[in-house]
Structure 1
Amino acid sequence: MEDWRVDIAAAIGRGTTDAQACHPLRCAPTLVKQRAMYGIPDVFRGIVWQKLSGADAMRQSHPSRYAQYCRMSASADGRIKRDLARTMPRNEFFSERGRGGQVLLFNVAHAYAAYDDEVGYSQGMNFLCAILLLHMRQEHAFWVLVCQLVTIMNHLACQLAVELFKLDRLILSCTPSLHQHFAEQGFDVTTFTSEWLLTLFAYSFPLNFTYRVWDVFFIKGFTYILQVAIAIIRQFEGDLLALSFEEIVFLLRDIPSRLHREPKLADAVSLLFLLLLP
């Protein structure tokens, strides 16, 4: 935290470390990216994500557009409402039916469906909206969705099979013995990792883990999501090599829960993230 404050203060030519004065939007983009690669403090995360995605500039260029989209009709409203109670139900912010975070979640998803009636509301969008709303106001979340996240989702809607094939090739390249073991067991790892990719690890992984992934994703793009998937699989390579088909299925399904239960394990996977950085 102190490094962020000192470096940002230096970038804007101020001799202060006050959090408000050291607003990341005032500092050099290169400095922000360098710092973000190694983790963004919670107090700055929402602001930096907006900066890195271009959402801040887009929002300022269209100051009343979000309110207009909120007032428009959208054919996806029924599907959005059905997903509200399924989105992070254990998180206090989204736990109260028809109130609090659920209202904001509906607003953002509805506004996007009105903004882009061709795409509307797609699988996994509720979890992306939820992660954003935990860090920023609803209008800001909408513009981050518009500027970066939905572009990725639209790509996956058409090219998920291609990205899963890339992941399979990465497994072959990085862990050939594990790739061979999967083949011998008749196991297709891509069927169990599509959920990871579609929600950018937002569906069931620990929030702090997901935040850390997104910090770098906003800089490196979707390629980094594939790299994180490989890092997770490599962390469990020793276990997976000794398992049968059914046991492999159970372990992969249990990985998010294990990261919840074992913070040290999540830390170990996070250390692998650093190896992915240039």
Structure 2
Amino acid sequence: MQSSRVKRSLRVKRYIRKGIPNEYRSLIWMTVSGAQAQMEKNPVHYKKLLDMEADPKLVDAIRTDINRTFPDNVQFRRTANPCLQHALFNILVAYGTHDKTVSYCQGMNFVAGYLLIVTKDEEKSFWLLDALIQKIVPEFYTPTMIGLKTDQEVLAKLVKWKVPAVAELMEKHNVMWTLVVARWFICLFIDILPVEIVLRIWDCMFYEGSKITFRVALTLIKHHQASILEANNFPAICEKFKEITCGTLVQDCHIFMQKIFTEPGRLPLATITKLREGSRAEMDSQS
């Protein structure tokens, strides 16, 4: 698979859904996301960004978060050799300079750090981050976070349709969806679900797009519906949403990944697009 493009097919989708072997993960993410093609088209862009004068506010914001990124991972400790903190700092500063509308937003440090762990390459991580932010989760990390807010609204509508009892419980106790799922979306399940599952989710997400995040969220909610419905007040509901991300369901990544494609039922992209358009229009009319 040397080509920077990959022919989309059912065979490729099935292969990716089964989990990409670790040694090929970086190559396949780069190829299927379009990041490889962008990197080849702009061979000196990343280096130029690093040579540019960065906005001091951007640099300060990133410096503050660097030490909080994966504190338990030895590769991110200052004493590590090589220490990934320096590479992560470069990627985030370069990205903030590259896309001034996004600049830097909390959560991006975890996403970029994760890409760095997988690719072990600054420039590749930068282009994968660009593919994620521009195409897969657009406007998640902008100052208004309108893309993130829209997708939380979409999830609320999908739950109303697929797991109505949970939607009623949330409404009854005035629990806003953002309180229980914002971190799921903004960190794309990093530090929410086990590492093996997150890697498998990202395998699918780079190929199939962000509708995978809805499949994961719906599976967690639908599978644990009975447990969530035991909650009878605001704090108890919030606690249940923490519990459902570390139960027995997520202990076997193969079973979990099979379930995300069966448990939520059909979820066509056309439906997601329509729900996004409707949610965006509702938010625009309220602002």
- Bin of the TM-score, shorter chain as denominator length: 0.7 to 0.9
One-letter code of the match for 1:186? N
- Please report how far the alpha carbon of residue 83 of structure 1 lies from its aligned counterpart in structure 2 after TM superposition: 0.7
- In structure 2, do the counterparts of structure 1 residues 23 and 190 end up closer, same or farther at CA, with 3 Å as the change threshold? same
- For residue 108 of structure 1, the aligned residue among 79, 86, 91 is 91
- For residue 132 of structure 2, the aligned residue among 148, 163, 179 is 148
Aligned residue number for residue 237 of structure 2: 248
- Please report how far the alpha carbon of residue 168 of structure 1 lies from its aligned counterpart in structure 2 after TM superposition: 0.7
Quick check: 1:80–1:110 contact (8 Å CA) kept in 2?
A: yes
Aligned residue number for residue 52 of structure 2: 72
Aligned residue number for residue 74 of structure 2: 92
* Separation (CA, whole Å) in 1 of partners of 2:177 and 2:101: 31
Aligned residue number for residue 152 of structure 2: 164
Please show how residues 84-233 of structure 1 align to structure 2 within 5 Å.
84-96=66-78, 100-136=83-119, 137-156=121-140, 157-233=145-221
Aligned residue number for residue 18 of structure 1: none
Quick check: 2:6–2:31 contact (8 Å CA) kept in 1?
A: no
TM-score, normalised via structure 2 length: 0.79
Q: 1:138-170: CA deviations, max 9, x gaps?
A: 101111112333445542322333221111111
Please show how residues 42-81 of structure 1 align to structure 2 within 5 Å.
42-75=22-55, 76-81=58-63
* Separation (CA, whole Å) in 2 of partners of 1:265 and 1:178: 25
Quick check: 1:70–1:111 contact (8 Å CA) kept in 2?
A: yes
Quick check: 1:25–1:48 contact (8 Å CA) kept in 2?
A: no
- Please report how far the alpha carbon of residue 231 of structure 1 lies from its aligned counterpart in structure 2 after TM superposition: 1.1
Aligned residue number for residue 15 of structure 2: 35
Aligned residue number for residue 7 of structure 1: none
Q: 1:231-268: CA deviations, max 9, x gaps?
A: 11112111111122222211213444x25x88536555
Aligned residue number for residue 9 of structure 1: none
Aligned residue number for residue 15 of structure 1: none
- Please report how far the alpha carbon of residue 23 of structure 1 lies from its aligned counterpart in structure 2 after TM superposition: 5.9
How many residue pairs get aligned? The number is 255
One-letter code of the match for 1:155? E
* Separation (CA, whole Å) in 2 of partners of 1:46 and 1:277: 30
TM-score, normalised via structure 1 length: 0.81
List runs of 5+ in structure 2 lacking aligned partners. 267-287
Aligned residue number for residue 251 of structure 2: 264
Aligned residue number for residue 281 of structure 2: none
Note the aligned Cα RMSD (angstroms): 2.6
- Please report how far the alpha carbon of residue 33 of structure 1 lies from its aligned counterpart in structure 2 after TM superposition: 3.5
When structure 1 is superposed on structure 2, of 160-169 and 95-104 the one drifting more is 95-104
* Separation (CA, whole Å) in 2 of partners of 1:118 and 1:226: 26
